[in-house]
């Protein structure tokens, strides 16, 4: 039966109520029997017994009055004495008749219970027998009175013993009636006592049974409810601890059962979402997948403007590498490169936007990182990517073995910060969550500009401003990328272990270069190479100085380097 909790509780209450009602009805029945028995004793048996006693007494008195009347007749008393004797005799006869009538009314008054009606009928029959015997006694007495008045002593003496026998018969019938009444009374008392004990036993037994039954039902229902609730609590704790494979058994069809089913369905949805996150998290950043699952509006086409930081990482010399390796080895190398770069980005709260051939595009900013940290996090990711370079080379060497000999593994990184449009773009069939805008283009150009300076990491002026003093940089140049008229100041991201004197000499040389002070610029850049012969930007500027010296510069020369290619 599919009963809800309310119906179960109401059912228990109904069963208990039915049992208590049965106890009450049975108690009323037994109490009614006891009342009927006591009523029969009080209103039937005792009055009849008392009346029989009075009749017996009056019969005796009447017999005495009759003897006195016989004596008066024999003594030939006067008329007055005879009349008085006769009146006394008649008065007793009327009193006896009245007692009989009174007892009959007593027996007929009121309703009798079925189990007492038979006893009353027997009493009425016994009373009728006594009346019949008394009438016979009375007729015989009248006959004797007549014979005595007539002086027929012979006949009188012959019938007198019969009269006494009639009197004794009446006495015997009355005694038998009284004994019968006593037996009925004793039986009624016994039945009343028996019913009283039954009543007490029934009340105790049925109350105990009702209590036991109600407690049993309550324990069963409570046990089921508590067990289901405990199962739900255990399931909830398991889910809270990350176990999405948990499933709570549905044991009932009530509200708890439906709640358990809903809980299992919810966990199933969470499990499905987790599988989707795990699966698609390998194709895009898990945080994007989470937003797509948890915030449906995240998938709506459109975007909003935010200041964010974008980074491009490119594998240096990929064309030469692809010519030197087989397709399988090339895929192994690229996957290894992407894994290291993705780790560096993820460790610093970045989002991998896409893998493009041999390049990685990533970005930082709300809602994936704080609005005041995205530039610094991107710079840290770039530095960490450089730290991965040695491990990357070792991994590729281990994976490819001798096939990796002669392959140079290096990278170039461009980082740019600015206002971009972030949101979902694409067609009805395929969409992606990405960022667009000039800072994205600039980041890509900065990655390519590394080739011109022999550097690995270039960052924009806005990135440098937001990152603050937590990074080490040197200003590298003012550049104008293709499609932009306004030049931008670019910086090389340095390690904290880089020679500080190199940056100092380079800064001096750059200032002289922009002032067309070729001599001092040359001296400063040569000083950089004396400290660090591998400092490529200093060598680049020495070449520029040599070329610019040989030419007459236009009056509007501003020291900006133009990049006409992407």
Q: How confident is the model at residue 131 (pLDDT cuts 50, 70, 90)?
A: confident
Q: Which residues pair with 304 in a beta bridge?
A: 422
Helix-strand-coil split of the chain, %, nearest 5: 70, 15, 20
**Above 80 in pLDDT, residue 33?**
no
**Above 90 in pLDDT, residue 453?**
yes
How far, rounded to the nearest angstrom, does the alpha carbon of residue 286 sit from its chain's CA centroid?
31
Highest mean pLDDT (candidates 153-167, 195-209, 232-246, 313-327): 313-327
**Above 60 in pLDDT, residue 294?**
no
Highest mean pLDDT (candidates 73-87, 228-242, 427-441): 427-441
**Above 90 in pLDDT, residue 334?**
yes
- Percentage with pLDDT > 90 across the chain: 28
**Between these two residues, 397 and 45, which has the higher pLDDT value?**
397
**Above 90 in pLDDT, residue 446?**
yes
Strand 411-426 to 431-436 pairing: antiparallel
Rounded-to-integer distance, Cα 183 and Cα 222, Å: 56
Q: How confident is the model at residue 44 (pLDDT cuts 50, 70, 90)?
A: low
What's the pLDDT at 545?
A: 93
**Above 50 in pLDDT, residue 415?**
yes
Q: How confident is the model at residue 486 (pLDDT cuts 50, 70, 90)?
A: confident
174-178, 482-486, 533-537: the lowest-pLDDT one: 174-178
**Above 60 in pLDDT, residue 297?**
no
Arithmetic mean of pLDDT, 62-88: 74
**Above 80 in pLDDT, residue 401?**
yes
**Above 50 in pLDDT, residue 280?**
no
Average pLDDT along the chain:
80
pLDDT in tens, 487-544: 999 999 988 666 778 889 999 999 999 999 999 999 999 999 999 898 999 999 999 9
What's the pLDDT at 467?
A: 93
Arithmetic mean of pLDDT, 218-229: 71
> Is residue 74 within 8 Å of residue 148, measured between CB atoms?
yes
Q: What is the DSSP string of 187-241?
A: HHHHHHHHHHHHHHHHHHHHHHHHHHHHHHHHHHHHHHHHHHHHHHHHHHHHHHT
Rounded-to-integer distance, Cα 328 and Cα 336, Å: 12
Q: Which two tokens stand for residue 382?
A: 């770039």
Rounded-to-integer distance, Cα 144 and Cα 440, Å: 154
**Between these two residues, 25 and 459, which has the higher pLDDT value?**
459
Residue 474, helix vs strand vs coil = strand
> Is residue 410 within 8 Å of residue 452, measured between CB atoms?
no
Strand 561-563 to 472-481 pairing: parallel
What's the pLDDT at 11?
A: 66
**Above 90 in pLDDT, residue 25?**
no
**Above 60 in pLDDT, residue 298?**
no
């Amino acid at each position: 039966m599919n009963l809800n909790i309310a119906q179960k509780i109401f059912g228990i209450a109904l069963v208990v109520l039915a049992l208590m009602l049965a106890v009450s009805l049975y108690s009323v029945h037994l109490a009614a029997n006891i009342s009927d028995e006591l009523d029969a004793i009080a209103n039937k048996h005792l009055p009849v017994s008392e009346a029989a006693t009075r009749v017996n007494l009056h019969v005796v008195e009447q017999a005495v009055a009759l003897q006195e009347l016989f004596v008066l007749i024999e003594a030939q008393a006067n008329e007055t004495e005879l009349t008085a004797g006769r009146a006394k005799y008649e008065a007793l006869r009327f009193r006896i008749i009245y007692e009989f009538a009174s007892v009959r009314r007593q027996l007929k008054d009121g309703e009798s219970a079925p189990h007492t009606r038979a006893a009353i009928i027997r009493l009425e029959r016994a009373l009728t027998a006594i009346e019949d015997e008394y009438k016979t006694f009375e007729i015989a007495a009248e006959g004797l009175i007549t014979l005595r008045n007539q002086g027929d002593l012979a006949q009188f003496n012959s019938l007198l013993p019969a009269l006494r026998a009639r009197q004794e018969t009446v006495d015997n019938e009355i005694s038998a009636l009284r004994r019968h009444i006593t037996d009925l009374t004793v039986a009624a008392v016994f039945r009343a006592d028996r019913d009283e004990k039954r009543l007490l036993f029934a009340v105790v037994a049925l109350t105990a049974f009702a209590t036991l039954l109600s407690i049993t039902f309550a324990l069963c229902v409570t046990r089921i409810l508590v067990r289901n609730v405990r199962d739900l609590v255990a399931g909830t704790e398991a889910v809270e601890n990350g176990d999405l494979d948990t499933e709570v058994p549905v044991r009932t069809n009530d509200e708890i059962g439906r709640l358990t089913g809903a809980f299992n369905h919810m966990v199933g949805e969470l499990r499905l979402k987790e599988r989707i996150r795990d699966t698609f998290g390998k194709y895009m950043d898990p945080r994007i997948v989470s937003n797509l699952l948890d915030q449906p509006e995240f998938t709506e086409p459109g975007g909003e403007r935010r200041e964010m930081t974008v980074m491009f990482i490119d594998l240096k010399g990929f064309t030469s590498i692809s010519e030197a390796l087989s397709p399988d080895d090339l895929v192994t190398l690229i996957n290894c490169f992407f894994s290291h770069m993705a780790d560096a980005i993820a460790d610093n709260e970045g989002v991998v936007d896409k893998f493009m051939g041999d390049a990685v595009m990533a970005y930082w900013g709300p809602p994936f990182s704080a609005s005041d940290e995205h530039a610094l996090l991107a710079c840290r990711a770039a530095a960490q990517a450089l730290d991965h370079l040695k491990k990357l080379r070792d991994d590729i060497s281990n994976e490819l073995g001798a096939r990796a000999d002669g392959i140079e593994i290096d990278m170039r990184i461009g980082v740019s910060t600015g206002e971009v449009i972030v949101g979902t773009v694409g067609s009805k069939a395929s969409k992606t969550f990405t960022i667009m805008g000039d800072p994205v283009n600039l980041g890509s150009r900065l990655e390519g500009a590394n080739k011109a300076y022999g550097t690995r990491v270039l960052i924009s002026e806005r990135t440098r401003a937001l990152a603050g003093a937590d990074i080490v940089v040197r200003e590298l140049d003012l550049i104008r990328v293709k499609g932009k008229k306004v030049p931008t100041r670019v910086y090389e991201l340095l390690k904290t272990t880089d020679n500080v004197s190199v940056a100092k000499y380079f800064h001096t040389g750059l200032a002289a270069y922009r002032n067309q002070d070729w001599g001092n610029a040359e001296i400063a850049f040569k000083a950089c190479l004396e400290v660090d012969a591998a400092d490529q930007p200093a060598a680049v500027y020495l070449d520029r100085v040599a070329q610019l010296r040989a030419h007459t510069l236009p009056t509007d020369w501003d020291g900006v380097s133009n990049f006409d290619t992407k």
